[in-house]
Amino acid sequence: KAGVTQTPRYLIKTRGQQVTLSCSPISGHRSVSWYQQTPGQGLQFLFEYFSETQRNKGNFPGRFSGRQFSNSRSEMNVSTLELGDSALYLCASFGGQFQETQYFGPGTRLLVL
Amino acid sequence: GIQVEQSPPDLILQEGANSTLRCNFSDSVNNLQWFHQNPWGQLINLFYIPSGTKQNGRLSATTVATERYSLLYISSSQTTDSGVYFCAVLSSNTGKLIFGQGTTLQVKP
């Protein structure tokens, strides 16, 4: 099976712009989670989608949003970018049950100037 | 919420040495995973181990759920083992993995 894919891999934006990141899960997986990794805060949970519905949400401002499509692909959007949004954004894919392995994609590195 | 603590934060070894990484968690969990983050940032699955012991080559892991800790053993370390090792747990009803701060391992030739 192909692994989790994320696009784009690298992105440079300026403050105030918006950005959309994409994640394609492993075939057959119905759940996608998103995480932000920064040197100061470590890995933090953004949100999780299951069957096109947001099932769980982390403690991030409303500028961070996401959605999931019927083919389980997910997108996350960050509006009005701030310098502090510079981070590695990782998505994870799993079948949908919490007691199972979650598989991560290669990530998208976002730099906000 | 659940707290996850990893120790040590940094570890430097000579090639061929063995090491033990520890992960303590503050509440019962139904999912615990160990990851190795490669230099490009991807989290590579090592073990899914909410309880018990597993082995995969030179790596093995043990989770004692009743005492709320997990151990990752690396034997005969190689330079390619260098990187950051994360423990992550998931508690029921939250759907989110809570990560420790990681252990940065450097294996010297």
Residue A76 CB partners (closer than 8 Å, separation 6+):
A20, A21, A23, A34, A46, A47, A64, A65, A66, A89, A91
CB A102 within 8 A of CB A92: yes
**Mean pLDDT over residues A31-56, rounded?**
94
Residue A101: exposed, middle, or buried by beta-carbon count in 10 A (0-12, 13-18, 19+)?
Answer: middle
Whole-number pLDDT of residue B95:
72
Which positions in chain B touch A35 (Cβ < 8 Å)? 97, 99
Q: What angle do CA A90, A92, A96 make, to 5 degrees?
A: 155
Q: Is B65 on the interface with A (CB under 8 A)?
A: no
**Mean pLDDT over residues A30-35, rounded?**
95
Structure tokens at A90: 């990782």
Which positions in chain B touch A60 (Cβ < 8 Å)? none
User: Is the pLDDT at A2 greater than 90, yes or no?
Assistant: no
CA distance A9 to chain B (A): 10
d(CA B46, CA B10): 19
Q: Is A56 on the interface with B (CB under 8 A)?
A: yes
Structure tokens at A48: 């999780």
Q: What angle do CA A76, A78, A81 make, to 5 degrees?
A: 155
Which positions in chain B touch A103 (Cβ < 8 Å)? 45
Whole-number pLDDT of residue A15:
98
Determine, for residues B50 and A88 on separate chains, whether the beta-carbon distance falls below 8 Å.
no
Whole-number pLDDT of residue A58:
92
Determine, for residues B42 and A104 on separate chains, whether the beta-carbon distance falls below 8 Å.
yes
d(CA A99, CA A109): 29
CA distance A39 to chain B (A): 10
Whole-number pLDDT of residue A100:
85
Amino acid at A73: R
Q: Is A113 on the interface with B (CB under 8 A)?
A: no
Whole-number pLDDT of residue A95:
82
What pLDDT, in 10s, does the model give residues A64-106? 999 999 999 999 999 999 999 999 999 999 887 777 889 999 9
Whole-number pLDDT of residue B40:
87
Q: Mean pLDDT, consecutive 10-residue segments, chain B of 109 residues?
A: 95 97 93 93 94 97 96 96 95 81 96
